[in-house]
Amino acid sequence: MNVETLIYAYLAICTSMIVFNCACVFVLRSWDKALLKSSSRMEAAVVKQIRHIRSGEPVDEAHKAFLRKKLVRTNSLQAFDEALERLMETEPEEAGAYIPEICPIFSYLAMENRYSNPMKLTYFAYVIRKYRIIEGRPIPVIMELLLELLQEPSLYCRENALQAIYSAGDCGYVLRALRTVDENSRFHHAKLLTDGLLTFCGDRQELAQTLWDAFDDFSVSMRVVILDFIRFGGVDRKEELLMLLADSSSDDEIRFSCIRYFGKYPCKRAYPLLIDFVERSGQRRWEYAAIAASALASYQQDRTVDVLKKALSSSNWYVRFNAARSLEHFQLTYLELSDVMESNDRYAREILQYQMNLKKAEQEKEAMPV
Amino acid sequence: MMNGLMDTIKVFFNGVSIFFVLYLIGYSTFLFLAVVVGSSTLYRTKQRIRLKNVLEENYYVPVSIIVPAYNEELTVAETVRSLLALDYKVYEIIVVDDGSKDETSQTLIDAFGMQPICRPIRRQVECQPEEFIYTALDRKVPLTLVRKRNGGKADALNMGINVSQFPYFICIDADSVLQYDSLKEIVRPVLEDDNVVAVGGSIRPCNGVELENGRVKKYNLPSNLLACMQVLEYDRSFLAARILFDKFNGSMIISGAFGLFKKETVIACGGYDRTTMGEDMELVVKLHEFCASNDLTYRIRYATEAICWTQVPERLHDLCTQRRRWHLGLFQSMTRHRAMFANPNYGPVSFISYLYFLLYELLSPYIEVFGVLTILLAFWVDLINIPFMILFFIIYAVFGSVLSLTAFFSRIHTIDLKISFSDGVKAVLLCLLEVTCLRFVTAFTRATAFRGYRKKKLQWGKIERRKINLK
């Protein structure tokens, strides 16, 4: 190949890049214009149906047929979403009454499933969740499609599908969804799962029972998610969690989650175990002592104070830090803490002093006039 | 005798021309790939956001923001104010004053009514001792000021790591401003993949931009021509290239102006190196080396939507100082971790990224200067085809300019920024100037970067600061 050919090749590349730039500008602008036009048309059509609902009439069959035909295309679904979003702001009650009327359309769309790629399916799941199409009425054909989406590689697809499933408020489907996610080798952050479960639209206690019944079938990471859901969801499972905490063969992460639970929901029978975790920290992973030292803030007793004072001399920073924070939580006087404050252990003194100063600064801040 | 010498010169020129043709083919191909991949990624991201392929709920990974500051009394309070306005719930701000000679600490103490506090520091990475610590608890999130003995930027960052409470930390420059949603965006890769140890944010020049509550209110190209050319350069060289490297876990730089790191991993590999000028690049290369040599599955990501607005130099002298510093940092990072080069244990980063940085970043100024000298020699012995040389140079300039414009307009269109017609024309004209002039100026600057190296190697690189246009 001679140099001239190379130069021509690069000139061709330059030309194609300029064409690419111009085409992109054109396509993006025409997209926006078309979307605006289409959503205005949709809005007018929906407003007409809202008027029908207001006068006690059902939504026109012709309108439903129109939606069935149009919404299989993602662009139209997007225009519909924008139109409905505007109406939800201006006429929330009427638009809210319109949505249940068009649920069968979404069953049809799920059955047809003509969205060509996962990105579009993710959008479909988003719309289902946003307008609470299946809230309190898990429509099987939609639910099955959402469960299928949990196998997709895209996190957004899985997350939107999960959110839609939670919105249905059906414990059985949530259980199936978590099983699917658990069996899937793809990473799904525990925080997304726990926070997602907390948005569940049905009975939280019933969901906790359903998940607990299948607890042993799940992997360790999913069990921790369930335990965190129980903790943050305010579900009473003290007996069961106490058994898990006492069982030394349980996985460490599961026991850590149980310790945190008993930090939030004090339990007399868990107390000796928590004390033991702090006192005999050398025999286990340091996390036991650190998390238990934090949990003991909910158990103000003389024995707790003694154990936490000893923990201030731990070789581990986190144990010392959490013990100091728990002691400060008890709001003890300087005299009650004098054995630490006047001791030779500088680390213990400093960390406790820091927590006390922090508390003092917080109190001063609260006392300040707004 | 003369014929023999002429033959030798001809053989030399022949070799040189083959080398330069190959060199330029390599560079042009890389640039082309970077811009094509970068632009298509930006358009795909726009499509993804349009179709709500996003995390709609507010998921928060707690992060500590570390702001190392040295003589930043002019900008530091504004920077902290902008950080306090970010759309994120669980974070803390730690400003580390590295023994400033001006009133950096006092400015912050006065601006935020901070109170002194005795706070024990867990020293996990080496740094100079602290002089005092102040805190402000009456803000949206905890704000801490640590004043320490001077030790350089890396040392200040290490202090920030020691003081931080959360499992991830973000480092930002004291003269930068984060976009309102930048924390959510930079944390997103961590939620997507548990193996992510670092995420680079997207750095954009803020000269000419008007920001209100972390949002762009008005976007104009800078009136200063030098800054304007850097806007184009940032889009072509940094934005596009980093997106390409991200595709194969090959990022070797996360700008010190905005990056997120997993604290545990950074501590495990010793924190920031206090003896280098390019501590940001050194840390990323070290993370590659540490994770690969310990058989850890890891990812270093680049988040295009996590935007940090920063000031670019408006004076040639400042620009040269900055580029000299970058070049020395590059040299130090690459020589310290030379064991990575062409080593299959480190994967594509050792072949593609390392080779790119070696040939087209570290050695490029010397190669370019050598090229100019060869042209002069060819003139002297009358062995140059001048029309062809001019044609070749024009093609090179047009090619570089078109790629710059493609990257620039892709960014503008995909994040819904509107620019005026005159700014569009300005971009078209200045991209030619950037490729034909600025590039050679920076090449010469980088070629002479080692002058005064010993004296300046641990000093903070300073450029003239202006107040950022915030409302």
DSSP codes joined into one string, A134-175: TTT---HHHHHHHHHHTTSS-HHHHHHHHHHHHHHT-HHHHH
Which of A11, A25, A196 lies closest to B413 in CB terms?
A25
The dihedrals phi and psi of B364, each to the nearest 5 degrees, come to -55, -40
What is the residue type of B34? A
Q: Under a CB-based contact definition with an 8 Å cutoff, are residues A203 and A173 in contact?
A: no
CA distance A54 to chain B (A): 32
Q: What is the mean pLDDT of residues B438-442?
A: 86
Q: What pTM does this model have? A: 0.89
Q: List chain A residues with CB under 8 Å of B391.
A: 7
| Substitution target from A320, A354, A366 for chain B, most B beta carbons within 10 A | A354
CB contact under 8 A, A11 and B115: no
pLDDT of residue B401: 86
For residue B467, is pLDDT > 70?
no
Of B181, B198, B214, which is closest to residue B89 (Cα–Cα)? B181
pLDDT of residue B459: 59
**String of b and e for B130-146 (b: at least 16 CB within 10 Å)?**
beebbbbbebebebbbb
CA distance B174 to chain A (A): 26
Q: Under a CB-based contact definition with an 8 Å cutoff, are residues B132 and B83 in contact?
A: no
Other beta carbons within 10 Å of A231: 20
Q: What is the mean pLDDT of residues A32-54?
A: 90
The dihedrals phi and psi of B302, each to the nearest 5 degrees, come to -130, 125
Structure-block tokens of residue A189 = 């952050």
Kindly state the percentage of chain B with pLDDT values over 90: 46
What is the residue type of B435? V
Which of A10, A14, A156 lies closest to B53 in CB terms?
A156
**Torsion angle, alpha carbons of B223, B328, B130, B135, to 10:** 30
pLDDT of residue A333: 87
- Distance between CA atoms of residues B185 and B204, nearest Å: 15
- Distance between CA atoms of residues B222 and B200, nearest Å: 25
Structure-block tokens of residue B329 = 């940092």
DSSP element (H, E) containing B143: strand B143-148
pLDDT of residue A155: 93
Of B63, B118, B127, B75, which is closest to residue B98 (Cα–Cα)? B127
Query: pLDDT, tens digit, for every residue of A110-144?
Result: 887 666 788 999 999 999 999 989 988 889 999 99
Helical packing angle, A238-246 and A252-264, nearest 10°: 140
Kindly state the percentage of chain A with pLDDT values over 90: 62
What is the residue type of B269? C
Query: Which residue's structure tokens are 């728990």?
Result: A326
For residue B464, is pLDDT > 60?
no
pLDDT of residue B227: 92
CA distance B82 to chain A (A): 22
Other beta carbons within 10 Å of B191: 20
Q: How many CA atoms lie within 13 A of A323 on its CB side?
A: 36
Query: pLDDT, tens digit, for every residue of B363-392?
Result: 998 998 888 889 898 888 888 888 888 888
Q: What is the DSSP letter of B58?
A: -
Q: How far, CA to CA in Å, does A360 sit from each of A256, B133, B254, B430?
A: 31, 16, 40, 58
Query: Which residue's structure tokens are 């304007």?
Result: B228
Strands B91-97 and B143-148: parallel
Tell which phi-psi region holds residue A265, choosing left (phi > 0), alpha (psi between -120 and 50) or beta.
beta
User: Could you tell me how far CA B129 lies from the centroid of its own chain?
Assistant: 29
* List of residues 6+ apart from A195 with CB closer than 8 A: B57, B59
Query: pLDDT, tens digit, for every residue of B419-432?
Result: 888 988 899 889 88
CB contact under 8 A, A13 and B122: no
Query: pLDDT, tens digit, for every residue of B442-459?
Result: 888 888 887 766 655 555
Query: pLDDT, tens digit, for every residue of B137-148?
Result: 888 899 999 999
Q: Under a CB-based contact definition with an 8 Å cutoff, are residues A319 and A311 in contact?
A: yes
Q: How far, CA to CA in Å, does B460 sit from each of A223, B151, B171?
A: 49, 9, 16
Q: List chain B residues with CB under 8 Å of A161.
A: none
- Distance between CA atoms of residues B331 and B363, nearest Å: 9
* List of residues 6+ apart from B157 with CB closer than 8 A: B66, B68, B96, B171, B271, B272, B279
Q: A293: helix, coil or strand?
A: helix
CA distance A260 to chain B (A): 18
- Distance between CA atoms of residues B82 and B213, nearest Å: 7
Mean pLDDT taken over chain A: 90
H-helix segments, B123-169: 153-163
Residue B177: strand pairing partners: B309
Please give the residue that has the higher pLDDT: either B71 or B461.
B71
- Distance between CA atoms of residues B176 and B309, nearest Å: 6
Query: pLDDT, tens digit, for every residue of A184-236?
Result: 888 999 999 999 999 999 999 999 999 999 999 999 999 999 999 999 998 88
Structure-block tokens of residue A149 = 């989406």
Q: Under a CB-based contact definition with an 8 Å cutoff, are residues B319 and B213 in contact?
A: no
Residue B193: closest C-alpha in chain A:
A187
For residue B56, is pLDDT > 80?
no
Which of B119, B135, B398 lies closest to A14 in CB terms?
B398
Q: How many CA atoms lie within 13 A of B417 on its CB side?
A: 22
Query: pLDDT, tens digit, for every residue of A173-182?
Result: 999 999 999 9
Which of A159, A192, A317 lies closest to B122 in CB terms?
A317
CB contact under 8 A, B54 and A156: yes
